[in-house]
Amino acid sequence: MGRLLLDGLSVSIGGAAVVEDLALAVEAGQVVGLVGPNGSGKTTALRCVYRALRPTGGAVWIDGNDVARMPLPASARLVAALTQEGRADLDFTVEETVALGRAPHLRGNQALSARERELCRAAMARMEVLHLAGRGVLSLSGGERQRVLVARALVQEPRVLVLDEPTNHLDLHHQIRLLAMLKGAGLSVLVTLHDLNLAASACDRLAVLSRGRLVAGGPPADVLTEDLLREVFGVRASVVPHPLTGVPQVLYDLAAATPTDKEGSSG
């Protein structure tokens, strides 16, 4: 359960096509990475999944249900999102912020059950923020706050998790831990990432957007090619298999940087 389908998704803003006819499936339990240059439409596509934006064409389906037609509380129980815009919270404590993830499951001012309190504690432990439980979120570092917000998304117990550049602010240890956790979470995950090496390691499949259109999709080894890096990102780089895992890894040579027809260099 938790199959996410972007079905011919299109979004126009001010008459400009930002996402065009995007078709993309995340099978239950899969991690799919949405990658592409700045301004290629990744955030816009994700915003349609968590209903911050209504598509102008096509639809988002979860387990056969059109998300845009669901009652809001129902979709809030199915989809959790770690967004770029939702990062400036009020000054709740860490514990209170994480508990807010249960809101779609509660009626009115209903208190958390013992199971829910344990769920919150476990999520904080998993994201290594348990020691910060009593701190105000506004006093946290960017990376600490990011981990709190992931814990909040986890306690929501969604079927689908969308994350927009979740590794922002995280140090290397926490980047790797977060992506490993996503891989083992048993959720359907759609995640935007700029680090293609982390994306190749963490994702079952990659979808590459360029100027709002899907230009490649499939297992990382099929998608991450030197041609694609040159054509889509305007970057000349080598792609080699990881010596331990075999997943493709991109090796950059700054001396060979040749921005030619690179998209969105203003983004």
Ligand X SMILES: Nc1ncnc2c1ncn2[C@@H]1O[C@H](COP(=O)(O)OP(=O)(O)OP(=O)(O)O)[C@@H](O)[C@H]1O
Query: What minimum distance in Å lies between the beta carbon of 223 and ligand X?
Result: 16
- Binders in 230-259 for ligand X, by CB under 6 A: none
- Binders in 6-45 for ligand X, by CB under 6 A: 13-14, 18, 36, 38-44
Query: What minimum distance in Å lies between the beta carbon of 120 and ligand X?
Result: 30
Query: What minimum distance in Å lies between the beta carbon of 6 and ligand X?
Result: 13
Pick the closer one to ligand X by CB: 20 or 144.
20
Query: What minimum distance in Å lies between the beta carbon of 55 and ligand X?
Result: 13
Query: What minimum distance in Å lies between the beta carbon of 245 and ligand X?
Result: 26
Backbone angles phi, psi at 52, to 5 degrees: -80, -15
CA distance linking residue 220 with residue 200, whole number of Å: 5
CB atoms within 10 A of CB 98: 29
Pick the closer one to ligand X by CB: 129 or 209.
209
Pick the closer one to ligand X by CB: 48 or 160.
48
Query: What minimum distance in Å lies between the beta carbon of 14 and ligand X?
Result: 6
- 139 scored as a contact of ligand X (CB under 6 A): no
Ordered alpha helix ranges (H), the chain: 42-49, 72-78, 94-99, 114-126, 142-155, 172-183, 196-202, 220-223, 226-233
Query: What minimum distance in Å lies between the beta carbon of 218 and ligand X?
Result: 19
What is the per-residue burial (b if ≥16 Cβ within 10 Å, else e) of 221-248?
eebbeeebbbbbbbbbbebeeeeeeebb
Size of the residue set binding ligand X (CB under 6 A): 12
Pick the closer one to ligand X by CB: 18 or 153.
18
CA distance linking residue 249 with residue 267, whole number of Å: 25
Question: Exposed/middle/buried for 93, CB within 10 Å: 0-12, 13-18, 19+?
Answer: middle
Pick the closer one to ligand X by CB: 246 or 267.
267
What is the per-residue burial (b if ≥16 Cβ within 10 Å, else e) of 10-47?
bbeeeeebbbbebebbbeebbbbbbbbbebbbbbbbbb
Pick the closer one to ligand X by CB: 10 or 44.
44
CA 143 to chain CA centroid, nearest Å = 16
Residues that bind ligand X (CB under 6 A): 13-14, 18, 36, 38-44, 267
